[in-house]
Chain A
């Protein structure tokens, strides 16, 4: 069974940092590009970041470019999102996902940025 389990979400102050993790199992993680997608309260889905299967290519939404860094450890079947200089508008449920077909999604982890 495919599983993606995110962790690391919590309450953090504006300007703070946070590292999200995603543990993958049930599929060959190392051959798939992976994404982070978020949903702010009452808003739609927003694509955040992509990393290729080898980690050689990373892409970011303009809203997070220069503040967020995606990485992965294929030996540990893990995906990460380092989030720095957090803003109130980064408050959202963050999902790790393999998109399109097949699509795999985690259950999400809530990041709240508030003073």
Chain B
């Protein structure tokens, strides 16, 4: 099975900072990669799908890039409401594996 490895596992940044989270697949998955935001007390919600397509209603400070095995989620200017855990997920075929998550905090 394809493994999904996210890094870092956690980060602390200041409001306004550019934040980058990476996700690596152990084999190529084309662009079948989604990014989810999971806030404590709320259910997850998709931010990006197809590696770079922004879900309707998601702020434009979020962006995704990559294809094949290496993917990136970028928050261009970190806001207090972005405190959450972020997960990548492959969906080219089963199993639909999630990365282990990246916890984002405000410094």
Contacts and interface: CB of A to CB of B under 8 A. Distances in A.
Interface of A: 35, 37, 44-47, 50, 59-62, 95, 97, 99-103, 105-108
Interface of B: 1, 34, 36, 38, 43-46, 49, 53, 55, 85, 87, 89, 91, 94-101
A-B CB proximity, top 8 nearest: A59-B94, A105-B43, A44-B101, A103-B46, A47-B96, A101-B49, A45-B98, A100-B49
7 contacts: A44-B85, A45-B44, A47-B98, A50-B94, A60-B94, A99-B96, A101-B55
A31 B90 CA distance: 21
Nearest to B85: A44
A59 B34 CA distance: 19
A108 B41 CA distance: 11
A44 B43 contact: no
A63 to B, nearest CB: 10
Contacts of A99: 34, 46, 89, 91, 96
Nearest to B55: A101
A101 B46 contact: yes
